[in-house]
Structure formats: structure tokens, C-alpha cells
């Protein structure tokens, strides 16, 4: 899948899949929201507004109030790519979010996921 195609994916269509992924592993929607808000700077109301809109990933991250400065501490492999070596800034943000949700689904403690 090309980067451009990923960028144009609707956040509102991907979000329920992220929630389903973690709920199958015994985690909650609230935890998904917490990690996404930590990463992007959205508050609960802002995130909900993005979910309800027809925003694509490109606009979702462009509108993010304050991308977390600790996001650079997110490392590891997601979708066959090492997060810390991704050079495209938008793809890196998307993969960082994927990695956080993946860690949540794998049962990692929320404090470790949020790099506290």
C-alpha cells in the first residue's frame, strides 16, 4: 500500500478497528483514547470530534494540538518496519500510533506505553 493511500485513509474508519484489536485482548476503548491523546495532544472532546468527522490521517495529525515530545522514545517493529528509522514524518506518526495500540493489545502496562 502506498504512503499516499495510507494518508488518505479516514481516521473514523480505522479507529473502531484499533478499539476492536485491544478489546479482543481485554483492554478498553478508554485506554486506546488515552494513548492516542497522549501521542497527539487531543483531549477527549477533540478526539471524539475527529472520530465523528470525515478526517483522513494526514489532516488528523496536521490538526493534532501538540504531538508528544516523548514520541521519539517509541521504538520497535510495527508492520515490518522499525519505527525509529522511518524517515517520512507523517508515516512515522502513524506507525508510532500503531505501535502504542499494539503494545496496549499485548498487555503492556499503560505507564510503560506512555513512556513515563
Tell me if 112 is assigned to some domain: no
Tell me if 116 is assigned to some domain: no
Tell me if 15 is assigned to some domain: yes
Domain count, the chain: 1
Tell me if 56 is assigned to some domain: yes
Mean pLDDT of the chain: 94
Number of Cβ atoms within 10 Å of the Cβ of 108: 13
Q: What does the pLDDT look like over 32-83, one tens digit per residue?
A: 999 999 999 999 999 999 999 989 999 999 999 999 999 999 999 998 889 9
Range of the domain at 87: 3-107
Q: How far apart are CA 8 and CA 78, in angstroms?
A: 20
Tell me if 18 is assigned to some domain: yes
How confident is residue 1, by pLDDT bands cut at 50, 70 and 90?
low
pLDDT at position 4: 85
CATH of the domain at 91: 1.10.8.290
Amino acid at each position: 500500500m502506498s504512503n499516499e493511500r495510507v494518508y488518505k485513509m479516514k481516521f473514523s474508519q480505522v479507529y473502531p478497528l484499533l478499539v476492536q484489536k485491544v478489546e479482543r485482548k481485554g483492554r478498553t476503548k478508554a485506554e486506546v483514547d488515552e494513548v492516542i491523546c497522549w501521542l497527539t495532544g487531543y483531549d477527549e472532546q477533540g478526539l471524539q470530534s475527529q472520530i465523528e468527522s470525515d478526517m483522513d490521517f494526514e489532516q488528523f495529525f496536521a490538526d493534532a494540538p501538540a504531538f508528544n515530545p516523548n514520541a521519539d522514545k517509541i521504538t520497535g517493529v510495527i508492520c515490518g518496519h522499525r519505527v525509529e528509522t522511518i524517515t517520512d514524518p507523517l508515516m512515522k506518526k502513524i506507525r508510532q500510533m500503531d505501535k502504542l495500540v499494539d503494545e496496549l493489545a499485548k498487555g503492556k502496562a499503560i505507564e510503560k506505553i506512555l513512556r513515563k
